Amino acid sequence: MPFAAGPVRVRVPATSANLGPGFDSLGLALSRYDEVTAAVTDSGLSIEVTGADEVARDESHLVVRAMQATFDRLGGRPPGLRLSCRNDIPHGRGLGSSAAAIVAGVLLARALTVDGRQQLDRAAVLALASELEGHPDNVAACLLGGFTIAWTESGVGQAIRLEPVGIAPVLFVPAEQSATHQARAALPAQVPHADAAFNLSRAALLVAALTGQPQWLLAATEDRLHQGYRADTMPATSRLVSELRQHGLAAVVSGAGSSVLVLAAGPEQAVAAARLAPAGWDCAALAPAGGAEVTAAATWH
């Protein structure tokens, strides 16, 4: 099957899922990015990585696995691949690094296949990325950008994008990683009906708060379904969330942790939040981001 002759590049944003009450459904794209450049070669696999020393440099690299799964879906794999990855999304911090790798791989393989865009439209890309990730919340925000609501219909990941208004995200990243599987293992099989109803109301309120009524952010980010159950697995994260919320800031655990995200209602709150950064934590004022972008790459990184 025919493949593109030149390299292509994709830029994918970090994401924060859950946002407090929206467990496995709400996500926000953040202005921190990975960039991956890829090209078809005559044979073999070459991978260059900067910014993430711990990742594999062989077929087990998540971008490569996503690319090969997409090539299989499109009708066939190329004889060889060359990749250059520039990673700025921390791994194991609840910022969607695996979703970014998967979205990057799917979009790169589609772009490198001559009729890839005709075979895989945006909905199909989201469905495939959700299948590879196992759930759609992070991949939806990474692919679409903005504030996303994701769900699964008959096993197929789907999502819509909304535009966040009046928020200034502030991110706190600790040195310690967390493991998503451990965070999920801490969750109970059943929760009280009252807690489920509580989260439904807060998730609905959060949609309004993020799209034009930021005065409700503190109340809208309350959660009873997952953060409390996971507190013992990341005590420093839990303490920081509690401290920030005591100061009136809408702080949540980012994804499965260990990072903390504050959804500040404007720049003044963002500055106030940054002043509370603990020693040893990286603190950055970010912005809501657009979705993944694919471009032709005239040069390599």
Phi/psi of residue 239, nearest 5 degrees: -65, -40
**Residues 198 and 181: beta-carbon distance below 8 Å:** no
Residue 182 has pLDDT above 80, yes or no: no
In 3D, which of 39, 118, 44 has the Cα closest to residue 75? Answer: 118
Cα–Cα–Cα angle for 237, 243, 246, rounded to 5 degrees: 140
pLDDT 10s digits, 128-181: 999 999 999 999 999 999 999 999 999 999 999 999 999 999 999 999 887 777
Residue 75 one-letter amino acid: G
Query: What is the gyration radius of the CA atoms in the chain, in angstroms?
Result: 19
**Residues 26 and 206: beta-carbon distance below 8 Å:** yes
**Residues 92 and 177: beta-carbon distance below 8 Å:** yes
CATH of domain 168-285: 3.30.70.890
pLDDT 10s digits, 232-283: 999 999 999 999 999 999 999 999 999 999 999 999 999 999 999 999 999 9
Lowest mean pLDDT among 1-5, 11-15, 104-108, 162-166: 1-5
Q: What is the pLDDT of residue 184?
A: 82
Q: What is the pLDDT of residue 176?
A: 84
Q: What is the pLDDT of residue 155?
A: 94
Q: What is the pLDDT of residue 131?
A: 98
Lowest mean pLDDT among 14-28, 50-64, 282-296: 50-64
Average pLDDT over residues 213-224: 98
Tokens of 52: 């993430």
Q: Taking the complete model, does pTM exceed 0.85, yes or no?
A: yes
Rounded Cα distance, 28 and 180, in Å = 18
Tokens of 104: 């990057």
**Residues 139 and 103: beta-carbon distance below 8 Å:** yes
Q: What is the pLDDT of residue 301?
A: 58
**Residues 80 and 116: beta-carbon distance below 8 Å:** no
Average pLDDT, the chain: 95
Average pLDDT over residues 37-57: 90
Per-domain boundaries in the chain: 8-162+288-296, 168-285
Average pLDDT over residues 103-118: 96
CATH of domain 8-162+288-296: 3.30.230.10
Peptide bond into 258 cis (omega under 30): yes
Give me the helix-helix angle, 97-112 and 137-144, nearest 10°.
Answer: 50
Tokens of 74: 């499109």
Lowest mean pLDDT among 1-5, 87-91, 253-257: 1-5
Average pLDDT over residues 110-114: 96
Tokens of 151: 């769900």
Residues present in the chain in total: 301
Rounded Cα distance, 12 and 85, in Å = 11
Residue 16 has pLDDT above 70, yes or no: yes
Q: What is the pLDDT of residue 298?
A: 55
